[in-house]
Structure 1
Amino acid sequence: MKKVSVLGSTGNIGKKAVDLLLKRKREYQVEALSAHSNFALLAHQAKLLNVKHAAIYDERFYKDLKENLIGTDVKVEIGAEGLANVASLPVDLSVVAIVGIAGLEPVMHVIESGTKVIALANKESIVCGGKLLIKKAKGKDVQIIPIDSEHNAIFQVLQNDDKCVEKITLTASGGPFLNYSLEQLRNVMVDQALSHPTWNMGKKISIDSATMMNKTLEIIEAHNLFNISPNKIEVVVHPESIIHGVLAYKDGFNLAVLAETDMAIPISYALSWPKRSASSYKLDLTEQKKLTFQEPDHRRFPALKLSMEVLNSSSPHINSIVLNAANEVAVNEFLKSRIEFLEIVKVVKSTVENFDSYTDVNSLSDIINIDRGSRVIANEIIESKALVYS
């Protein structure tokens, strides 16, 4: 029986993981769960899975969680220290589904814990952790399995053959505004941006998908995770989202991974790895009728250009951290209707161009300091509206 922890169990990915684990209680013992603030759902999950530890990050809800777990043997953890404690528990596999750079430090703790497999839904930790995180994982013999459907697809193919790869293609649905004109994009409202045509996701990643910033982050993630040149990574718009990734080889063969659009599929793969478990998700290509592809429009979705600018810059690791921090700030401001939709990418671009506190990145504290400095600059740019319009 595998021992498992789920960090970020009350988010979209976390809930999917918990649902799968509930169906396979004979195969997995869930040791720990964590959530940011949803104490009621966390307590419910803890009881259903009979976990030993439950961590609530927002300290305001500690008493609520304790009260909801009266009569159980669950040890309640609190705040950043509590999250660090459950992340440091040695298990066979840890699902990390915390949103944003907040997931980086827990991932580092998981790596140090003795846990051997991380099912990672937090792309920001790879983007910001960069080679530092990958080196630490390799040094501890920790296998990172990406849960993002695109990177999960690439990972599956590279498990069998990582030689002679000429190009990696990540597919993009195009989000809710694929066919919007530039003029229409100027008037996008928050509720429109949150309405994705294909995937059911949380608020932050839904906005990232709408701006296509998620693909910018995924290009950087693929570069770090698979150690492949950024010039060998491309994005193709594929609205049906049936093909999740393609690897092109020097001899002309292309291997594509196809699956339905449900995150339960890559999560299940990660939970079962290196084996495969049976699933009710069966792809019927005759129902799809057609699969379409097109080049992304960089004029309407300029975020994609930023990935190459960052990765080909003189400080790609630092600029990746800056890009991620600025995007988190800008998305949050857009969700509060304080900036316009098209201003999200402009804030990110301006922040990267205005960040000049360059230093070596040798530790987690270096990453955190760069992240904090970037947020200050991003907020100053938003306040002054000194945005880059080129």
Structure 2
Amino acid sequence: MSIALPNSENLVAELRARAMALGFGSFGIAGADARPDLPEKLRQALEAGWHGDMEWMAETAERRGSPKGLWPEAKSLILLGYNYGPESDPLGILEEKSLGSISVYARNRDYHEIIKGKLKELAGLLARRSGEAVKVFVDTAPLMEKPLAEAAGLGWQGKHTVLVSRDFGSWLFLGAIVTSADLPVDKSHPQSCGRCTRCLDVCPTRAFPGPFQLDSRRCLAYLTVEHKGQIPVEFRAPMGNRIYGCDDCLAVCPWNKFASIAHEAKLRARDDLERPRLADLVQLDDQGFRQMFAGSPIKRIGLGRFLRNVLIAIGNSRDQSLVPLAEAKLVDEDPLVRGAAIWAMRRLAPARAEMLRLSFEPWENDAAVRVEWTGELA
């Protein structure tokens, strides 16, 4: 049996105070073996195929299932939450079809960069005070932060699988410090969703097989960010004007009413990413894309996937002024972009699209794009 560090309570109090000073709103500690149920839950999700084409989840399953699988020396985990609650309802823009909806978490600098620096500072303090080893993680390693944060008392995993906090609702970035130090643990948070199913009911693609279960293959957050191919046809119309991520299930959570007033230190959105015009976005070239999204998580998906998303939104816009801009992308060098442009044209200007098909289809060398021209997917 391991023995906690001498004066560990004083050390934890110092760490907690420093975390709050760095802008974190939540702080909790869990033992490295706090969730022995995770390997089996992960196995079931992978066997069901809910991870989609995120093969790295299956490849790292053994390490992902347990902090000790990731690092055998681990004894304790410090879980921290950083508030990014929006100033207004992020779902309001969904009715403004000529604008693009960007998920709240992506409207500022990449949260990995912001939070990792703060974690490193806090971990350095722990290492100096304890003499123990530390590692920091921000959604970049096979660590199941959400259930571990639940074990550390930060909140509970809601029926939408996202961590919910009594103070911050569904708007928390999570980071973790894994350490060989044996620290006193906090009490886990009980599940507090009650009978509420708002997050499940609002999902435009029915991505939840059941409460606390998420099929990524049907999730717009996954499809617009992680998915590398064309958006499956059945999800294009429900996608609306969501061009990066989806906030629907988070935004309707009743606990969010506390998020806007709970903590002043939080990430705030860039003005230009709150209401971007589809007409401007679809005209971005590679240089413009890189400049606009420098330091943003959006940059990681690349111009092709981004334009794919924008063109699907244009197809859903009913805005005839966007037809020439969609048509211009029919000659894009990226087949992902050409395919999405065809779908947008078929939605906005079907007669014009059919006329153009006679010119474009015979010369198209990409099989998937040719299928878009035939209309067999529509």
TM-score above 0.5, yes or no = no
> TM-score, normalised on structure 2?
0.25
Query: More strand by proportion, 1 or 2?
Result: 1
> TM-score, normalised on structure 1?
0.25
Q: Which has the larger radius of gyration?
A: 2
Q: Could you say which structure has the greater relative contact order, defined with CA pairs below 8 angstroms and 6 or more residues apart?
A: 2
